[in-house]
Amino acid sequence: MILQAITFDLDDTLWDNRGVMTRTETGHYAWLDEALVSWLASRGETRLGRFADRFPLTAYQDGRQRLAERYPLRRGDFSWLRERALVELLEAFGLPRSAAWLWAAATMARFHALRLEVSPHPEVEPLLAELGGRYRLGSITNGNLAFDRLPLRRHFAVAIAAGEIQAPKPDARPFLAALARLATPASRALHVGDSWQEDVLPALRLGMHAAWIAPDTPHAGALPPGAYRLGHVRELPELIAKLEGQP
């Protein structure tokens, strides 16, 4: 076959995201709590108490879930959910609406800074550099990473943040958008990702090939045609060579 384009999921495909999200989740909320202490003290306001004592992290997480249920079309736009959950909590804490929005925006800036502290697998940079010379590359993610601020972004002709277009994977629309912008038919494209439900199945339904990065995920029986299981993204060149050797 003639392969023309490759699309990649980001989190837990090009890097291990588990520790990043744990640090980011606790880190930006702790930053807000500490910053509010200093800001309120500078204004001589102590009546409100400490933010995280009144609204622990679980209150923030529950608030995001309620917003996702209230606004189902926004369920995949994680930055939108976070910012509005923060505004609601800050207003309940006692801040005026204008101050709540300012502090929510500042907290989200801290979130995005922490979210960028990813460590791509060492093989990823040379792999993308090599593949980018042969294929059109795109990324499709449900994450709210500010990908344009990472050095890896330069290897990708297209970057789709699915949640921001209100069509999180496994919705077909981010895949279709990527294929259209890459000017590639689905049959000539390979998608690489770690999620069976959000990466592999939607790609297969569109007629793409799919590389499933699944080192620890069992799957009963043989994989469907067009799906290939890899233990690590470093194994991708071997799969591509195999695909290109097929008629």
Residues 87 and 51 both lie in one domain: yes
Domain hosting residue 166, numbered range: 5-16+119-244
CB atoms within 10 A of CB 182: 21
Q: What's residue 46's pLDDT?
A: 83
Q: Which of 219, 233, 241, 31 shows the shortest CA–CA distance to 115?
A: 31
| Helix orientation angle between 78-93 and 57-70, rounded to the nearest 10 degrees | 120
Domain with 56 in it: what CATH number? 1.20.120.1600
Residues 45 and 124 both lie in one domain: no
Residues 48 and 86 both lie in one domain: yes
Q: What's the sign of the alpha-carbon dihedral 28, 25, 102, 92? A: negative
d(CA 56, CA 53): 6
Residues 144 and 236 both lie in one domain: yes
Q: List the 158-161 sheet strands across, edge first.
A: 158-161, 136-141, 5-8, 189-193, 209-213, 227-230
Residues 139 and 92 both lie in one domain: no
Take residue 23 and report the two structure tokens written for it.
């640090």
Residues 11 and 22 both lie in one domain: no
Domain with 203 in it: what CATH number? 3.40.50.1000
pLDDT in tens, 112-143: 999 999 999 999 999 999 999 999 999 999 99
Residues 64 and 128 both lie in one domain: no
Q: What's residue 220's pLDDT?
A: 59
Final residue before a domain boundary, out of 49, 80, 115: 115
How many domains does the structure of the chain reveal? 2
Residues 103 and 152 both lie in one domain: no
Backbone angles phi, psi at 125, to 5 degrees: -60, -55
Residues 198 and 155 both lie in one domain: yes
Residues 239 and 142 both lie in one domain: yes
Which contacts (CB < 8 Å, 24+ apart) does range 158-167 have?
158/7, 158/182, 162/76, 163/76, 163/77, 163/78, 163/79, 164/77, 164/79, 166/73, 166/74, 166/76, 166/77, 167/76
Q: Which residues of the chain have pLDDT under 50?
A: none
Residues 134 and 208 both lie in one domain: yes
Residues forming beta bridges with residue 209, ordered by sequence position: 190
Residues 156 and 192 both lie in one domain: yes
Q: What's residue 38's pLDDT?
A: 95
What amino acid is encoded at 206 in this protein? L
Instruction: Find all residues with CB under 8 Å of 52, minimum gap 6, and list them.
Output: 29, 30, 33
d(CA 155, CA 207): 24
Final residue before a domain boundary, out of 115, 139, 169: 115
Q: What's residue 168's pLDDT?
A: 93
Q: Which of 223, 36, 219, 222 shows the shortest CA–CA distance to 210?
A: 223
